[in-house]
Structure 1
Amino acid sequence: MMNNNIPMHRRNFKISPILFILLFCSGATVSAQGFSEGPYGIGYFDIAGPFTVLDLNAPMPGDVSQDDTIDIEDVMVTLGAEIGTVEINEEQFYLADINSDGILDTVDLVSIVNLIYNPENSEWSFQDAWNGQESYIFIHYNPSVSNSTALWISNTKQALLENSPLNVHYLFISDRSSSASDVQAIKGEFDEILESFDPALQDHWKTHLHFIPTKTSELDNWLADALSDKYALGIDRFQQLKQIGYLGNPDGFTGTHMSYLAHETLFYNYVWDAVFDPDSNYDEITIFDKELYSGGWASSITQVVEFPSNEELDQYSAMKVELLRGCPDADGNYSDDGCDDYDRIAHMYLCDEDGSNCYEIARWITPFDRQPHHLTDITPFISVIRPGGTRLIKFQESGWPNSLLTLKIRFYTSEDDPEESPQEFRPMWIGTVQFNPSYDENRPSTIFDVPENATRVEFVTYITGHGWGSAGCYNCAEFCNSKHIFSVNGGTYEFDTSYPEAGDGDYCMELETIVQGVIPNQYGTWGFGRAGWCPGMDVTPFITDITEYVEIGDDNIMDYEACRVSGNDCVTPPVCQGDGYCPEIAMSSYIIIRY
């Protein structure tokens, strides 16, 4: 939800491709998975099957000099290599050995001469190229598909390459009768763009840009059907087919930007890095598995769960929650088309088995019409699960739910002795309160006790600001910066958190933010910064260690106040006139005690 009168503060952020490739390749090992044996499909989240296509950028057999042309020079280089007067590298040998018999001879020379007069396009195989570390995006030119022409002629092609991570392939294909010339023309555009890149990046993109001259509908593989009604299609690092979101600017909903495809690939990397964790040891509890969640306004979905015992919980060093919030189409399959049109708060509560004593232990903000996937560290809330056993998990969105939920909790073990485990918790300020001049009164000082055996004490809270559009409220509390100040034991220790990104014109769509987990290219005003959140992102708890400032074995007190930040000043929250969506702060806070 958005007020278009928000002040704009543009910031340009660009990930250096050189920096990315250093980061991507510098690790001693990079976890990956082999090519899946299926089953394959053509729906979103289905596994992409093998395919082979012609590719104008693939190395041409016979182009031994590697100048993208087969001519007499290639014949002479091959002859020189055959008789030992010219040295060639392994790739050149591969291109010269036309019949692939492992030797260079007259047969290869004659074949290269024939290729001068009858050149052939080379093939590119998805399965052969697969290494489990890269993603793939098709750009499809089909004027009968909405926005396809605008995407194909987009003037943001250079920005696409500049903003993309280096572990993505882009494949260009047309379904027009002039498909070959369409693809040749767009290849020429990218060739010209790459002339300004340094040689290493030119070589890289030549192997990661693929230009398919075959008409889409004449392909002899599954792509003909999969691409028929789409202007773009992705394959992520899990080898799953992924829907491409809205490629217009969310500030005004203008344009179709090819460069925004880079957003998709950055999010693919985020999900892979967050969710794929083969080197860690963890036990997993599945709460929901592609479960349909629907119903009336703010309805909830629940599941009784058997958690590890108190003693078993002591063995775990961390706890994380995985949420894939898919959306069903009319047939119950994954599709953005089935998603809610607005950003909502989503909560996961842990309750007693009868549904009483519920505490929020995880929070997300849903996106505008997209399907996010996150893994969030919620280790402090091991304390809420204790003493283990049978409990109730409740998931609730503040809107009209229509989701295919996959929700899992991971309990991690470590080869090292676990640190002090979260053992007890004390609720502090819970619930949503209007952000107005009475806010501090409605969040009174709170007393909490700390047992004598405590070794670490933390303050843990979710704080997100909501509400906008009310006259005189400065677009609070969603789009204004609020500061939250906490004081332990009468000022012995004071700490705070604030949200300067709230109201920033494009904070949530900056590349630097997307790689933190914002699902991009949403069908709404997803780019604007918010107070403690972005649409389509998990909310990470704010954690502060207060061990040094509390009295162990005694009662303690914490004070809390909040203000609106105006320049360098901390001013009283505004008065809502009852129009628009009045400002409010949604908060769940706890003292977590470890020993």
Structure 2
Amino acid sequence: MDCPNGNSGCDDWDRFANVKVKDNSSGNWFEIGRYITPYWTGTQVLERGLEFDVTDFKFLLTGPTELRIYIENWTAKPDIISIDFDYVVGTPDYQNYEVSEVLNLHSNSIDCVPYGVTHNVDLEKSILIPAEAESTHFRTIISGWGHATPTDSDGRPCAEWCYRTHEIKINNFPTFQHYMGPIGCPSNPINDEQEPGNWEPNRAGWCPGMTVPVRKDNIIDMSLNGSPFIFEYDFQDWTSNGAGGNAFYAISTYVVVKSNSEINPAVIQD
């Protein structure tokens, strides 16, 4: 990520941004990486820029492929983006991968899931993992936005700042936890972010000028293969008082199935 006219050409705020690849079979755009732009600058201080492991999507990254790069820029200042792919020679863990989309709520920072208020966004799905799957995991990216109140006891509003623990439930049983806590904003190697950019204070699960973490959860209960089960993404309880604006979470979740024999993707239903 570079800036026209030096750093003076980059947007002066931390913006939601992501990279997507088109799944030709469904026409949907799968989020393969998310990042938050740094204040006032690009990633010039990093030799390779920001890096993502996109191995889960390797079957989509062969032959003619469409990519979409989005930055939620509210100013006229553009960013110059380039992408390189590294293909590592070696023996894969499994010969065949298939990916299915569970939650597609990542178009931008606020057109996603409201937090702390009643909403009609469906966070519950029925999932059928093929019986022949030898390995299965969920791949989730989540980041929060907004300064909604009441603040936590340490003064943190939601959902950019408030530390939370969310859960993936399987058949209504809490199975995986996602802690939305500090990930080291003060130690960000992109440390040339100019004032008044407030990049050093820790956010809840993300930082300006860094990738948003990918959260992988391995399904080790093979008895789930071959029969539908209920997936639910469950936020930690919190109620907005309507002051301070609104709180939001942008989420993408995929289920990745692997096998050394040919395999079909998992089936997702509302």
**Residues 389-444 of structure 1 deviation map (CA, whole Å, 9 limit, x = unaligned):** 33310000011451121211222221xx32114621221122121112436x6343
Structure 2 residue 270 is matched with structure 1 residue 589: no
2-structure distance, mates of 1:486, 1:352: 25
Letter of the 2:229 counterpart = N
Q: CA deviation at 1:549?
A: 5.2
- Secondary structure in 1 matching 2:85: strand
- Within the candidate set 220, 224, 232, 1:559 is matched to 232
Report if the CA contact (8 A) 1:355-1:392 is conserved.
no
1-structure distance, mates of 2:85, 2:118: 38
- Within the candidate set 100, 113, 116, 1:433 is matched to 113
Report if the CA contact (8 A) 1:450-1:551 is conserved.
yes
Specify whether residues 581 and 520 from structure 1 end up closer, same or farther in structure 2 by C-alpha distance, changes over 3 A only: farther
Report if the CA contact (8 A) 1:435-1:585 is conserved.
yes
Report if the CA contact (8 A) 2:20-2:32 is conserved.
yes
Q: CA deviation at 1:456?
A: 0.3
Q: After the TM superposition, which segments of 4 or more aligned residues of structure 1 sit over 4 Å from their partners?
A: 352-355
Specify whether residues 471 and 555 from structure 1 end up closer, same or farther in structure 2 by C-alpha distance, changes over 3 A only: closer
Specify whether residues 535 and 422 from structure 1 end up closer, same or farther in structure 2 by C-alpha distance, changes over 3 A only: farther
1-structure distance, mates of 2:25, 2:79: 25
Partner of 1:456 in structure 2? 135
Report if the CA contact (8 A) 1:484-1:498 is conserved.
yes
Report if the CA contact (8 A) 1:473-1:576 is conserved.
no
2-structure distance, mates of 1:553, 1:561: 24
Indicate the percent of aligned positions where both proteins have the same amino acid. 25
1-structure distance, mates of 2:102, 2:163: 23
Letter of the 2:41 counterpart = R
Specify whether residues 406 and 438 from structure 1 end up closer, same or farther in structure 2 by C-alpha distance, changes over 3 A only: same
Q: How many pairs align?
A: 240
1-structure distance, mates of 2:26, 2:102: 20
**Residues 256-285 of structure 1 deviation map (CA, whole Å, 9 limit, x = unaligned):** xxxxxxxxxxxxxxxxxxxxxxxxxxxxxx
Partner of 1:343 in structure 2? 14
Partner of 2:170 in structure 1? 488
2-structure distance, mates of 1:594, 1:353: 20
2-structure distance, mates of 1:411, 1:390: 16
Partner of 2:203 in structure 1? 530
**Residues 73-114 of structure 1 deviation map (CA, whole Å, 9 limit, x = unaligned):** xxxxxxxxxxxxxxxxxxxxxxxxxxxxxxxxxxxxxxxxxx
Partner of 2:84 in structure 1? 408
2-structure distance, mates of 1:445, 1:549: 21
**Residues 200-222 of structure 1 deviation map (CA, whole Å, 9 limit, x = unaligned):** xxxxxxxxxxxxxxxxxxxxxxx
Partner of 2:54 in structure 1? 378
Tell me the TM-score normalized by structure 2: 0.80
Partner of 2:185 in structure 1? 508
Letter of the 1:585 counterpart = Y
1-structure distance, mates of 2:166, 2:95: 28
Aligned-residue CA RMSD in angstroms? 2.4
**Residues 487-513 of structure 1 deviation map (CA, whole Å, 9 limit, x = unaligned):** 22342x6110112328xxxx411xxx3
**Residues 179-215 of structure 1 deviation map (CA, whole Å, 9 limit, x = unaligned):** xxxxxxxxxxxxxxxxxxxxxxxxxxxxxxxxxxxxx
2-structure distance, mates of 1:421, 1:436: 43
Unaligned residue ranges in structure 1 (runs of 5+): 1-324, 330-334, 564-571
Specify whether residues 421 and 369 from structure 1 end up closer, same or farther in structure 2 by C-alpha distance, changes over 3 A only: farther
2-structure distance, mates of 1:354, 1:556: 24
